[in-house]
Amino acid sequence: MYQQHFGLQEQPFALTPNTRFFLNLPSHQEALNLLLVALQGGDGFVKIVGEVGTGKTLLCRKLLNVLDQQAYITAYIPNPRLTPDELLQSFALELGIDISDKHSLELRNAINKQLVQHALQQQRVVLIVDETQVMPAETVEALRLLTNLETESIKLFQIVLFGQPELDELLNRVSLRQLKQRITFGYQLRTLNESETAEYLSQRMIVAGSSESSVFNRGAVKLLSKVSEGVPRRLNILAHKALMVAYGKGARRVAAPHVIRAVKDEGHRTPLLFTLTAGLSWPDLLVILAAMSLAGVLAWSVNA
């Protein structure tokens, strides 16, 4: 409803993993570069770990989009809560193999044959597993055994694991130590700091069609950075609501009071004034308090 008001062609903070909005920021760009280098180098296992909402699935989709479709054959498993047999079936289906009436050994042989064929055609096969932390330990081990499909000189396919920090706990199990030793590259996605939050907000607004790069003012950025804790998904939710509040007030820029309304809508149980200002420097605190006072919401936030 606010798109026309802010000159947008689409919602800038939708939660769907649209790769047009990929975070062109150090952490995510470094992770993408590492993935491309590792895959080009033929490394067997690569691992990307990040907290909930830090953009793992978006990075995963971006990787799928940028890989050369002539040089790479990709298999994508978005929900790996599978048994070892179901893992084989899912991988086979992604490779275009008919799995009907095939038991595990036949399926394994069919996969091996298909992988060899791709290798002869100079095509690299990449299996990408999202949300790997939910994969049962016995299935993780089956995945490791599957990587034994290789020739004397090359691996027949590579694996990229995306997961939450619980993935590291899973891989630290003694029973999975052999797989952990095969992970040649790993990367930990981090949350956004304040300057990155400002760039993130600006980037998404511009991609969505805005001609203004600073729709969110300094006070709004500071509050959004603090309350979202730099988590992109949470930032998207709060920024979307703040834009709605600003639109409702007829404002052309999002300010601190609009963010406070958005935070209030999120259902914070602790007093808003304490939540939003704890840990801020005095200059920043004065900026935010002044904005709140001008908008007439100071008393409301203290009593929230």
* CATH number of the structural domain spanning residue 100: 3.40.50.300
Same domain for 55 and 164, yes or no, is yes
Mean per-residue pLDDT, 110-122: 93
* Model pLDDT for residues 3-50, shown as the tens digit of each residue: 999 999 999 999 988 999 998 788 899 999 999 999 998 878 999 999
- Residues 109, 84: one domain? yes
Specify if 2 maps to a domain: no
Q: What pLDDT, in 10s, does the model give residues 140-189?
A: 999 999 888 877 677 899 999 999 999 999 999 999 999 999 999 999 99
Contact at 8 Å (CB) between 187 and 32?
no
The whole-number pLDDT of residue 297 equals 46
Please give the pLDDT value at position 100: 87
Are 62 and 207 within one domain? no
Q: What percent of the chain has pLDDT over 90?
A: 73
Let me know if residue 18 belongs to a domain: no
pLDDT, mean over the chain: 87
121 shares a domain with 266 = no
Domain that holds residue 102: 26-188
Please say if the pLDDT value at position 279 is more than 90. no
The average pLDDT across 114-123 equals 93
Residues 184 and 40 in one domain: yes
pLDDT for 103: 85
Same-domain check for residues 181 and 65: yes
Residue 3 lies in a domain: no
Q: Does any domain span residue 9? A: no
**Do 54 and 165 lie in a common domain?**
yes
Final residue before a domain boundary, out of 188, 217, 235: 188
Instruction: Look at the chain and report how many structural domains it folds into.
Output: 2
Q: What is the 3-state secondary structure (H, E, C) of 10-52?
A: CCCCCCCCCHHHCCCCHHHHHHHHHHHHHHHCCCCEEEEECCC
- 47 and 87 both lie in a single domain: yes
- Contact of 145 with 116, CB cutoff 8 Å: no
Whether residue 76 lies inside any domain: the answer is yes
Q: What is the pLDDT of residue 207?
A: 93
**pLDDT classification of 124: cutoffs 50, 70, 90:** very high
64-73, 155-164, 277-286: which range is least confident on average?
Answer: 277-286
Residue 67 pLDDT greater than 90, yes or no: yes
**What is the reported pLDDT for 291?**
52
Average pLDDT over residues 230-258: 94
The pLDDT value given to residue 13: 95
Q: Is residue 287 part of a domain?
A: yes
Quick one: 156 and 272 in the same domain? no
**Do residues 134 and 282 share a domain?**
no
Q: Which residue has the tokens 């052309």?
A: 252
Q: What's the whole-model pTM score?
A: 0.83
| Domain end (from 188, 203, 236) | 188
